[in-house]
Amino acid sequence: MEINSYQSSASSHQLVAESSQISVISHQLSADSCKLKAKNGFTLLEILIALGVISLLGVVIVQVFFTTTRSNTKTELVKDVKQQADYAIGTMARSIQNARLVVSSDGTSCSSAGTVTPAIIITAPDSSQTTYGCVTDSLVQRIASTSATGTEYLTGTGYTLGGTSCSDASLSFVCTTIPGTSSSVRIVFTLSQKGTPQSVYEKANTTIETTVSMRN
């Protein structure tokens, strides 16, 4: 009986010890699990932060791309308009410089105070006459030269002097004749791309103002 009682007591103590070990292991596993969860949660936070940074960089890159594209587009549009204006002013300037006579659109001579006129009539050394002014072509106000040989447009169909007709277009001339000096013509106009958008990035226009003196 004593032997059996002793064995039973020893077994009981062994079970208690094993139970304690199991409890310790269970607590350790629970702690490790909590650490793992915490670690996993921190990694997820890092991922979210990284995604946020990448998204922000993406937005900045897209904005820079569109700003650069718009700037380049505006530069090209302004360049095209400027080339059109330069061609028109160059053609008129050469005619004025070589002219024998320059008068206003109604055929009157230019005054010493300056005569404002929507067009000018130039008489060349060979007595041929050319009129420079605004001509409406398919609802577009263009700079043109008109002579006995016909009408020659100095600006393209994609460019306009503005206004709904030549009467309110931007082209004007001021011819001045002072006795004892060469006559001169001041040319002023604003040329824009037809259908220019309202966006400031895409507006394309140029204003020309120059004075040309006759050589003869």
pLDDT tens by residue, 50-98: 888 888 888 888 777 766 666 666 677 788 899 999 999 999 999 999 9
Single out the residue of 125, 207, 97 nearest to residue 161, CA to CA. 207
Rounded to 5 degrees, φ, ψ at 125 are -55, -30
pLDDT higher for 11 or 162?
162
144 pLDDT band, cuts 50/70/90, is very high
- Please report, rounded to a whole number, the percentage of residues in the chain having pLDDT higher than 90: 44
Name which residue leads in pLDDT, 41 or 138.
Answer: 138
Nearest C-alpha neighbor of 195 from the set 41, 81, 91, 94:
81
**Strand pairing partners for 133?**
144
Max CA separation in the chain (angstroms): 153
The secondary structure of residue 160, as a DSSP letter, is: E
Mean pLDDT of 180-205: 78
The pLDDT, as a whole number, for residue 1 is: 43
Q: Report the alpha-carbon distance of residue 130 to residue 184 in Å, rounded.
A: 17
The reported pTM is: 0.65
d(CA 56, CA 141) in angstroms, rounded, equals 47
The four Cα atoms 185, 214, 108, 155 give a dihedral, to 10 degrees, of -50
Token pair for 88: 């028109």
CB 157 within 8 A of CB 188: no
Looking at residues 154-169, what average pLDDT do you find?
Answer: 92
